Structure 1
Amino acid sequence: MVALTRDRGTLERIAARNFSIPAAASKVFYAGAILALDTATGYGTPGATATTLRGLGRVRRAVTSPATPGTVNVEYERGLFRYSNSSAADLITRADIGTTAYMVDDQTVAKTNGSNTRSAAGIIRDVDDLGVWIEF
């Protein structure tokens, strides 16, 4: 490339918050759900108990992907979002603020990695009566 000789319409991602990723095959992504990257395939997938996922953020709009991976994209947002708390030994408390939360499913996070069966969702930033605030 050469240096500019006129104005350029440079695209911006506002506060580096809005993204999209090609979707894994045959998945249903609900708006508001936890979106994860399947590190084995490079495609977006709903949050789940698995060891090959990495939490990305919150799904912006519902999408159902066809049988061919990468055919549609899933829009998602980075930020701080409230999700459901796990229970029993995996219940997240205020003492866990600042530590990693782990995905149980596309709307629930837990305190532990479930004996190495769960992937990280994000960082616990707050806990209240309605759930856990996770930063992606």
Structure 2
Amino acid sequence: MRSQTKDASIVRCSKCGRKNRLPRAASGIPQCGDCHQPLAWVTEAWDEDFSEVVEAARIPVVVDFWAPWCGPCRMVSPALEQVAADLAGRMKLVKVNVDEAPRLSERFAVQAIPTLVVIDQGRVVTRRSGAAPAPALREWVDDALAA
């Protein structure tokens, strides 16, 4: 379970069930306040806070450029959230709505959505466009994290 505000997400720990508040930008790796297991870190970013939320992250970030009106984007989103849960503590998933962040869309030359970009320590590691099934997305992210 996840709910989102402009400042933080509320994430239920998959191990013990405790609800945890996760800031959109923070140093380190989020852990459950009770059992200390890594938490799936899924959040959003906009033009004005992308640097703080994504580029300053200490773990690799998968950026999902999407739009609410895009059918393939809506199909990919649950698969990406599952990958983030499976790789909790190893990656962060940040969703960028292209309609609300036009400067980021331009900066990353997003011409089709969904477009996924892996950023590690402020640099682009890899990118892909288009929908893919969950196993293909997991393999792509695993390869990017290994690079």
TM-score with structure 1 setting the length: 0.25
Q: Between Structure 1 and Structure 2, which shows a larger proportion of helix residues?
A: 2
Structure number, greater radius of gyration: 1
TM normalised by structure 2 equals: 0.24
The structure in which a higher percent of residues are strand is: 1
